[in-house]
Amino acid sequence: MNFLKDAKMCAITSAVLCIVLGLLFLLFPAVSAKLVCYILVGVFIIAGMRFLVLYFRSRLLSFFPAELLLGLLMLAIACVLLLEAEGIAALLPVILGAAIVVSSFIKLCHAFELKRAGWGGWVSVLVLSLIGLVFGVLMLINPFKVATTVMILIGAGLVYSGVTDLVAILFISQQIRRDMNAPGGPFAR
């Protein structure tokens, strides 16, 4: 039973963190891009340290210091992100817009290839690629306004996810409690 209680507490904590992070994105969308940069700093530091530990553990077995190079590269990227978080946060919408345009253009090409091959679903791919293309171009034309809107949408999604997780946890907990008390149930003693 401790496992179930631990799993429940972990799920509740995760849901609450989603809600809090979502509210931060909703209330402070401009700060959220910097927050993303700082989260990336943490990710790169952890990854860099992991590679360095791998290098020093397997130093005797490896002649090529790939782990050392990757670890140092990850730590260098973390430093750049940390020192230039404001500038990178400002560039993030432009980078995302360009990536969306490229990805959408590739999907557009795929749609025409699918049409040529006689596949019936090519129209769906075409429509989705055009929507992505328009969204990407809008991000390139006015990156900061779109970035704010995207951060607000991400925040709303996180809050929604956290709230629905809490509701699901409530229902699951009630069902488990009922099953535990039911004679002949899966948790009967």
Instruction: Give the model confidence (pLDDT) of 114-127 as tens digits.
Output: 888 888 788 988 99
Q: State the Cα–Cα distance between residues 162 and 18, nearest whole angstrom.
A: 5
Residue 144 exposure: Cα atoms within 13 Å on the Cβ side: 7
Q: State the Cα–Cα distance between residues 79 and 115, nearest whole angstrom.
A: 47
Distances (CA, A) of 142 to 7, 93, 136, 149: 44, 9, 10, 11
Instruction: Give the model confidence (pLDDT) of 69-91 as tens digits.
Output: 888 998 998 898 888 887 777 77
pTM above 0.75, yes or no: no
- The pair of structure tokens assigned to 166 is 């809490």
- The pair of structure tokens assigned to 50 is 């992991």
Predicted confidence band of residue 63 (pLDDT cuts 50, 70, 90): low
- The pair of structure tokens assigned to 128 is 């989705």
Rg (CA), the chain: 23
The per-residue pLDDT for 188 is: 58
Q: State the Cα–Cα distance between residues 82 and 88, nearest whole angstrom.
A: 9
Instruction: Give the model confidence (pLDDT) of 109-168 as tens digits.
Output: 888 888 888 887 889 889 988 998 888 888 788 877 777 787 788 788 888 888 888 888
The per-residue pLDDT for 130 is: 92
